[in-house]
Chains A and B, each alone.
Chain A
Amino acid sequence: MKKAKKKKIIYIILAIIILEAAVSVGLNYELQIGRVDGKFVVRNVKSKESIKERIDEEFQSDTIVKIAGRFPVNWNVIKVILAVDLLIILFGFFVYKNVKLIPTKIQIIAEDLYTFFRTIVTDTIGEEKVHFTPYIATIFIFIELCNIIGLIPIPGNMEPTRNLNVTLGLGTMAIVLVHFFAIKEKGLFPYLKEFAEPVFLIAPINIISEFGNLISISFRLFGNILGGAIIILVISNLTRYILLPVGLNMFFGIFIGTIQAFVFTMLVLSYTAVAIK
């Protein structure tokens, strides 16, 4: 009985998808349902803005606002980042306000996250470097929230990681901190000596490879999130925004977002581990 019901639902979904594919005539059209001139119509009409303009919108065009008349910021991105920051601060505040021996629900989440990252850090860097845990966990929570905040359907609410400036900033912060920790751990001269490791001639290549790390770590996050957004836009446009975009948003928003946040964190951790060992 239950199995038959499930099969029925799957058939209905398949039928809807096939119907969508049949009624969609092109990328630059959209479905019109409703009363026009007293008649009920379901038809494809040419949309007001073409698909190219919509894809251009996905790139988060800059709206420069000057703070205090001097510092230009991109308000489209900054407002979402501030919202994410506010969420993190509120989370920390509510966890810290009542820490109990018998944990509440929110405390269990925080403890689980912290324990997970402490295990990873102690596995990768070592038991005596456990003080790296807050830094690593904060990177993960921030990027994760940035990736999944785009699921909330408010106009203009886009993932901040879709903007290259944000991911380049995060990558630069991580790489600079890696070198800072390396100097702190080894001293300046042994650190500089490592660049000329097998032979002195190879030093420029080593320096360029550090920039390669920065480029690859930030472009990976940016490319995954932006690529997902464009795929969601194009496929939703083809299926006239019926049913399929929900699954696509789940996949690209939650699954890919979490994986990429975790990968960014793990790569920062491995760079740090290589640098300070």
Chain B
Amino acid sequence: MEITGVEIIRAAALLGAGICMGFGAIGPGIGEGFVGGKACEGIARAPENSGLLTRTMLVGQAVSESTGIYSLVIALLLIFAV
């Protein structure tokens, strides 16, 4: 069986998608965990503000999730567009 150039490009694209998703998930994971932990501390210190803290936590997590979503988009492009 001979491996053609097209197949090599396809394999590289799939490998790139996996690497992209794997490394892209590190940052959001750490960031969201950090935000969640800090929000827990805040709620433990001031339980009467828990509603505001939860809302702010969700928005902060969503913003730090952006890079993960970008890497998902790149991975989808690599899988389906290359």
Contacts and interface: CB of A to CB of B under 8 A. Distances in A.
B9 interface: no
Interface residues of A, number: 16
A216 B55 contact: no
Interface string B39-73: 00000000000001001001100110110011011
Given A263-B58, A263-B62, A219 B73 contact: yes
Contact of B59 (A59, A216, A266): A266
Contacts of A259: 58
A220 B59 contact: no
B52 A220 contact: no
A233 interface: no
A220 B65 contact: yes
A120 B56 CA distance: 11
Interface of A: 59, 120, 123, 216, 219-220, 223-224, 227, 259-260, 262-263, 266-267, 270
B66 A220 contact: yes
Interface size range of chain B in the complex:
10 to 19
Contacts of B72: 223, 227
Chain B residues touching A, majority SS? helix
Nearest to B59: A266
A262 B66 contact: no
14 contacts: A216-B70, A219-B73, A220-B62, A220-B65, A220-B66, A220-B69, A223-B72, A260-B62, A263-B59, A266-B55, A266-B59, A266-B62, A267-B63, A270-B59
B69 A219 contact: yes
A59 B69 CA distance: 17
Nearest to B79: A55
Contact of A262 (B58, B63, B73, B80): B58
A267 B52 CA distance: 15
A216 B58 CA distance: 16
